[in-house]
Amino acid sequence: MLKVTDLHVSVDEKEIIKGLSLTINPGEVHAIMGLNGAGKSTLANTIAGRDDYEITSGSIEFAGKDVTELEPHERVGEGMFLGFQYPVEIPGVSNLNFMRTALNGVRKYRGEDEMSAAEFMKLVRVKAADLKMSTDMLKRFVNVGFSGGEKKRNEMVQMAVLDPKLAILDETDSGLDIDALKTVADGINAQRRDDTSILLITHYQRLLDYVQPDVVHVMIDGKIVKTGGKELAVELEEKGYADVA
């Protein structure tokens, strides 16, 4: 599904990712763990195509296609999704309009017809109810006045509506209380299928209690230094990064 090969990324001419390789197969959930500043968010944003992150060498292959040069919206069209650590507030744009424009953008990229407003409403109501989001929040401006937990739930609703092949979730668990964490975890598990992959980026092990990863990577200073099974996350929690890596 995703194959990152010897990736080097610079931000403002400072190298942040220093030769990182990663392969995720269909049906797998991977977790990348690491301290602040290890380059986790840079990696997530680079895979999603953010243009102020400069790839100096290496490549990103997605579903058998080199996407290194694709624009962000094209990568979404191919089936990627990035869940933001800090979802952006957009005053003046309603959540519904935002999601419908997004879904139809993806359908257009794939050469499919636009979804009618009625069909879309049906879809989004179901997805929002699954994630305990009220219709009122769908009508409000994107993320404006949402609490931290509501913003993350909103990310999960968007993911469910777009139904990506690969979801990269950047610190989706940060700032959540336990109920919100469970709801978000349910959303992630619902997206977990034989034909999808998930990459969780996190600080802490606690999300991994609810979403069991197949593979855990430890990232330090722009590189993956250790890879193991889910027990690696527990070990990290107990011993800390310095001892494990």
Partner 1 sequence: MPDAIIDAYRDQLWGLIGTLPGLDGVRERALNKFASAGFPSTRHEDWRYSDIKTLRTTPFDQMAAPMQAPDLPAPLTDVAARLVFVNGRFQESLSDMGDLLQAASVRPLANHLMANAERVDELNLGSDSINLLNTALMRDGFVLSIPAGIEIDEAIEIVHVSAGADHAAAHVRHLVEMGEGASATLLERFVGDDSAYWVNSLLQARVTEGATLTHIRMQEEGPAATHTATAIVSVGAGGNYHATNISLGSNLSRFEARVRLLADEANATVDGVALAGTGESHDMLVHVDHRMPNTTSDQVFRTVADARGKTSFQGKVTVAAGAQQVNADQSFKALLLDRTAEANAKPELEIFADDVKCSHGATVGELDDKALFYLTSRGIDPATARQMLVEAFSDEAFARTGNESLADSIRARVGQWMQNHTLEGQAA
Residues making contact with partner 1 (CB under 8 A):
48-52, 71-73, 76-77, 82, 84, 87-88, 90-93, 97-99, 101-103, 105-106, 109, 158, 162
| 3-state secondary structure at position 3 | strand
Q: Kindly state the smallest distance separating residue 116's Cβ from partner 1, in Å.
A: 18
Q: How many residues does the chain have?
A: 245
Which CB sits closer to partner 1, 174 or 210? Answer: 174
Which CB sits closer to partner 1, 64 or 91? Answer: 91
Which CB sits closer to partner 1, 50 or 192? Answer: 50
Which CB sits closer to partner 1, 102 or 190? Answer: 102
Q: Kindly state the smallest distance separating residue 147's Cβ from partner 1, in Å.
A: 18
Give the separation between CA 135 and CA 154, rounded to whole angstroms: 12
Answer yes or no: are the C-beta atoms of 197 and 230 closer than 8 Å: no
Q: Kindly state the smallest distance separating residue 16's Cβ from partner 1, in Å.
A: 17
Which CB sits closer to partner 1, 75 or 223? Answer: 75
Q: Kindly state the smallest distance separating residue 101's Cβ from partner 1, in Å.
A: 5
| 3-state secondary structure at position 232 | helix
Q: Kindly state the smallest distance separating residue 49's Cβ from partner 1, in Å.
A: 8
Is residue 142 packed enough to be buried (19+ CB in 10 Å), middle (13-18) or exposed (0-12)?
buried
Is residue 98 packed enough to be buried (19+ CB in 10 Å), middle (13-18) or exposed (0-12)?
middle
Angle of CA points 219, 223, 225, to nearest 5°: 60
